[in-house]
Amino acid sequence: MLPKSLFVTGLAALLVLSACTFTVQPEMDAAPPAPAEAPAEPAQPEEIQPEEIQPSLQAAFILPDGNRCLFAGTGATMAFDGKRVNYTCDVAPEGKIVAILDDPVQPETGLTEWQVEVAVISPGSEGFTLDSSEVIQFTAWQIDLAGDVTCLHAGFGATFGFDDERVNYTCEPATAGATGPTHGGFLVLLGQPANVGEGVWHAHLAEAGSADDGWEMLDDAQVEVAAISGLDPLAAASEGDGGSPLAGTSWQWIKTEYGDDSVTEAADPARYTLTFNEDGSLAALLDCNSGMGSYTEDTPVLTIGPLTSTLMGCAEDSQAAEFAQDLEAVVSYVIQDGNLYLALFADAGIMTFEPLE
């Protein structure tokens, strides 16, 4: 099951007193043997109640420019035109305050879209003055959860869902000890995060697995949100000079030769492709799904950022999971004899690509 806080069940002992006759026995040299302890019950799988991992965790909002805004507290604070300063942001012009007025909201334009009113405020001898405010709408590309779970945007195309809640994010444990799937499935976020008040937001985390007729939900729980980020994952990459030998090239996967001498050949290379865009973004074809991400390179070092993709159910012979997993383990590359070779972490293998015509 999805990890939950270990429930501790107290056992109450009821002592029943009744009238009885006692017979005095002679003193014994040694105390009678203690009654044998009952055998311990088999250990049950640990269940972590996600919302109790870090009680009252207040979510941070990260604006598209990277400015991080934290909840301003429940006490008295300033307000302008009836709008309370609910979040204050880390970065502000000298002598100013940058804040979010009222709570962030999700407009009807999309399940992953957010809208905030960002204000610039000046402190003065007679109080605070609102210099300006601007309504900003952005896509939340990443949502971090309590328990060190990172969820990335699943794309805008077709996907699946449960009980009318769409799968909007795919999630991975961010650290070795983080919450992870326990039924052999994968983690997803369903629907929209819910505002439960006082800066606390809950998200519907589920473990999904494949079934004969599509997908099934293996487990789910409400989990506290640690951060909601509108920082575009391609923004940093787009600041590059576009001089990479990979920029503007497209490739199709031929095979991967692993360190244990095993070889996986692409059943259909045209279903597994990579395009390295000049702005530092990466487009991938993962069988029947399309993916997006970013890359950074300093020849021969190459890093491919986490890929977000649509979640269509592909054919049984799909190699998409293995292909995507290997891409995120890439550490270097070389272009030789017209082919692209990607080396995996710790000499785990070499991926071979041919130019995509």
Residue partners of 148: CB distance under 8 A and separation at least 6:
173, 174, 175, 177, 178, 179
Q: Give residue-wise pLDDT tens across range 217-267.
A: 999 999 999 999 998 765 544 454 446 789 999 999 999 999 888 999 999
What predicted TM-score, i.e. pTM, was given to this entire model?
0.58
- pLDDT at position 337, please? 87
- pLDDT at position 42, please? 43
- pLDDT at position 45, please? 34
- Beta strands of 106-184 (E only): which ranges? 113-124, 127-139, 142-145, 149-153, 161-162, 165-173
CATH of domain 237-355: 2.40.128.270
Give the whole-angstrom CA distance, residue 333 versus residue 83.
53
- pLDDT at position 182, please? 87
- pLDDT at position 348, please? 85
Given a cut of 50, the residues of the chain with pLDDT beneath it are 1-32, 39-54, 236-238, 240-242
- pLDDT at position 265, please? 96
- pLDDT at position 270, please? 94
> Residue length, the chain?
357
- How far is C-alpha 289 from the chain's CA centre? 19
Of 276, 254, 233, 270, which Cα lies nearest the Cα of 326? 254
For the chain, residues classed under CATH 2.40.128.270 are 237-355
- pLDDT at position 157, please? 63
- Look at the alpha carbons of 34, 39, 45, 49 in this order and tell me if their dihedral is positive or negative: negative
